[in-house]
Amino acid sequence: MNVFRTVVTIILAGILTDNYVLSKFLGICPFLGVSKKLDTAMGMSAAVIFVMVLSTAVTYPIQRFVLEALGLEYLQTAVFILIIAALVQLIEIALRKYMPALHASLGVYLPLITTNCAVLGCAILVTENYGSAAYSFGTGYLYALSCAFGSGVGFLVAMAIFAGVRRRIESSDIPDTLQGLPITLISASLVAMSFLGFAGI
């Protein structure tokens, strides 16, 4: 029961208080780049959730059973990014072969995800937070996966909200100098401010 409560807390924290995009600045490039239309935003976010959970599922055991066991923690960055890059390729191939429908909707976003810092950031943060010896492998793994899932959903929520905001921006009259990216960033600032309200929870 206690474990269940912690899992719910971790997921909610990932969505609201520790939102990766709006309070940790991870994954800003897709946030600004692909949030113009709601459907592309959703496709990208779904792909991010998918890759985030899978990459955490792979990197967490590797960190505990390979890197820490052999004293190779300093290779973490290189190993993780290579795992993520390989995993993204594998997922793409597997989806194309076995789930063409899902590939048609997510496939185009997958290559972009390799250089998405939210995915690598999630893998590193999760092993930092839940990878210590204080957690047994089972609970640590469960917490890590739920944290990855929560953060992915948080990314989706931020993207969905921001896609709506951007649609409004497109139809409004904006000063010449602020057109394009500047007004987008300023409205992102306002959205981030609203998420600041959750910090009290």
Partner 1 sequence: MAKKTISMGRNASHHSEQSPVSEAHRGVERISSDSSPEESVDMPYEEQGMTENPACYIEAEPSADEQGEATNQAVSQAAGPALKLFQSEMKRGLLTENPVLRLVLGTCPTLAVTTAASNAVGMGIAATLVLICSNTVISLMRHIIPDKARIPAYITVIASFVSVVQMLVKAYAPALDESLGIYLPLIVVNCIILGRAEMYASKHAPLASALDGLAMGVGFTAALLCMGIVRELLGAGSLFGHEILSEGGFLQPILFFSLAPGGFFVFGLLIAAANRLSRENHLPVRTGCGDCPAAATCSMSDKGGCR
Site residues, partner 1 (CB under 8 A): 22-29, 32-34, 36, 74-78, 81-82, 85, 108-109, 111-112, 114-117, 120-121, 124-125, 128, 177-178, 180-186, 188-190, 192-193, 195-196
Q: Which is nearer to partner 1, 94 or 186 (CB)?
A: 186
CA distance 25 to 27: 6
Distance in Å, CB of 22 to partner 1, minimum: 6
Are the beta carbons of 191 and 22 closer than 8 angstroms?
yes
Q: Which is nearer to partner 1, 99 or 185 (CB)?
A: 185
Alpha carbon distances (Å) from 144 to 35, 79, 129, 183: 27, 18, 8, 36
CA distance 74 to 68: 10
CA distance 159 to 182: 18
Distance in Å, CB of 3 to partner 1, minimum: 26
Give the HSE-up count for residue 54: Cα atoms under 13 Å, Cβ half-sphere: 19
The amino acid occupying position 15 is I
Q: Which is nearer to partner 1, 11 or 41 (CB)?
A: 41
Q: Which is nearer to partner 1, 8 or 196 (CB)?
A: 196
Question: Quick one: tokens of 39?
Answer: 């459907």
Distance in Å, CB of 54 to partner 1, minimum: 17
Distance in Å, CB of 112 to partner 1, minimum: 5
